[in-house]
Structure 1
Amino acid sequence: MTASVIVHGYHISVYNRIVQMTLRQKGVAYTSVEINPFSDAVPDSYREMHPFGRVPVLVHGEFQIYETAAIARYIDQAFDGPPLVPQEARPAARMAQVISIVDNYGYWPMVRQVCSHRVFRPLQGQPADEAEIAKGLKASRTVLSALDRIAGEGLVLDAQTITLADCHLAPMIGYFVQAVEGEEELKRRQALADWWAWVADQQSFKDTAPQLPS
C-alpha cells in the first residue's frame, strides 16, 4: 500500500502552492492540513515537525520534511511521474539558480511588498503602503530582468517543459501580477511574459489557485 502524503500548509502561502503544484505535476494524491503560521495558536505538535513554525511540511508515511526546495526535490525523486529536474548539467544548474533567485531576491518584494500592499491589505480593509509598493517594484525589476534573461536563454522557463523552476516561480508571479504595477512590469519582459502566459494555463497551476480573503 502506498504511504499517505500530507501537506501541512497555509492556503494562501506561495510556498504551500509550490509544493502542491509539484505534487500535481507528478500525479501524487495528497491531503491538505491547514496551518496558519501567523497565528498565536500554532500547535506544539506542528512545531515538533517544523521548529521554525513556518509552512509547509510534507509528511510521507513516517518521513517528514520541511523547507520548500528540499520538499520539491524529494517529491521529484520519491514518486513516479514526469521528471521535474533536468538531467543535463546546464539546465539543472539554471533550475537551481531560478529557485535561489526567487527565494533570496524575489519573494519579499514581489509578494510581501507589492502584492501584500496593493492586493491583500485592501481586501482586508487596510490601507496600502505606497512607499512599500515603490520599494518592492524597484527591487522586483532587477529580479524580473534576471529571470527574463534566463527564460530567453531557453534552458529552463522555456514554455515547453515543467521543471521545479516553473513550480517555484509561477506562484510568485501569480501574486505579483494581481497588482496592476506588477502586471505592467512583467509585460516589459517578453521572454518571461511568454513563459507566464504558458505556465498560467497549466492544469497544476490552475488547480492550486488559492482562495483569497474577502
Structure 2
Amino acid sequence: MVTEPASRKSPQLYGADYSVYVRIARLALLEKGVAYDLVPVDIFAEDGIPAAHRQRHPFGKIPAFEHGDFHLYETGAITRYVDEAFDGPALQPADAKTRARMNQIISIADGYVYPQMVWGLYVECIEKPKRGETPDEGRVETARGVARITLGVLAGFLSEQQWMCGDTLTLADLHLAPMIAYALEVPELRQMFAEYGNLGDWWQMVTALESFQETQPSS
C-alpha cells in the first residue's frame, strides 16, 4: 500500500482507504506506476470534517488530489488527469466509440452500482446489522431490482471480451472494481453475480491485479 512519504513533487491523494472512490483513484495511480502519498482524511470522524479539507474539497467529500500547485476533486476528473498527465499504459481507449462505452460504464457505476449495490445492499444488509440497526426493507427491495438489471447490463458489455471495454484494462474496470468488492459481501448479490459466468471471469482478472491487492481496505 503506497502510504510512505514520496517526493514532494509526487501527487498527494487525500482520503481514507475504506472509500470506494479513494480506492478508484489509487488504482489508477498504481496502474500508471505513479508514486504518491495517501494523506489520511476521515470525513466520518466524530469531530467532523477537518477545516483544511474543506479548502481542498468544498463539498467535504473524498478524495481530493494535489499535483504540485494543481488541485482537483471528483474521482472521474482525478483518474482522467492521472491517465493523461503521467507516462504508463493508457487507461482510456483511443477510439471514440470505445471511449464513449467506457464513460457510459463509469456513469452506470456512479448512478446505479454505488447507490444501489453498495448503499442499498451492502450498507443496508451488512453494515447496518453490524451496528445493531434494522435494514430499510423498501430500500433493499429497490436495490435488489436495480442490481439484477445492472449485472445483466454489465455481463452484456463483457460478451466476447475480457475487460468491460474490450481486451485492455480501462478506467471503467477500475471504477467498478471497488464497488463490486463491497457488493459481493452480500450473499444475495453473490448469488446473482454467479449467474453470469463472464462476470466471474472478469472478477478473477480484477482481483489478480497487483494494484487491487495493494489497495485492500485496512478495516
For normalisation by structure 1, the TM-score amounts to: 0.91
The 2-side partners of 1:126 and 1:89 are apart by 46
The residue number in structure 2 matching 1:113 is 120
The 2-side partners of 1:186 and 1:102 are apart by 15
Give the residue type in structure 2 aligned to 1:69. Answer: G
The residue matched to 1:52 in structure 2 has which SS? Answer: coil
The 2-side partners of 1:147 and 1:52 are apart by 30
The residue number in structure 2 matching 1:38 is 44
Q: Is the 8 A contact 1:152 1:192 kept in 2?
A: no
Q: Is the 8 A contact 2:24 2:75 kept in 1?
A: yes
1:72 maps onto 2:79 in alignment: yes
The 2-side partners of 1:88 and 1:153 are apart by 19
Matches within 5 A, 1:26-175: 26-39=32-45, 40-152=47-159, 154=161, 156-157=163-164, 160-175=167-182
Q: Is the 8 A contact 1:158 1:195 kept in 2?
A: no
Give the number of aligned pairs: 212
1:72 CA displacement: 0.3
The residue number in structure 1 matching 2:29 is 23
For normalisation by structure 2, the TM-score amounts to: 0.89
Q: Which whole-Å deviations, capped at 9, do the CAs of 1:173-212 have from their partners, x for residues lacking one? A: 1111111111111111222222112111111111111123
Q: Is the 8 A contact 1:96 1:165 kept in 2?
A: yes
1:30 CA displacement: 1.1
Q: Is the 8 A contact 2:113 2:150 kept in 1?
A: yes
Q: Which runs of 5+ in 2 are unaligned?
A: 1-6
The 1-side partners of 2:195 and 2:98 are apart by 25
Q: Is the 8 A contact 1:148 1:192 kept in 2?
A: yes
1:205 maps onto 2:207 in alignment: no
Q: Which runs of 5+ in 1 are unaligned?
A: none
The 2-side partners of 1:94 and 1:155 are apart by 15
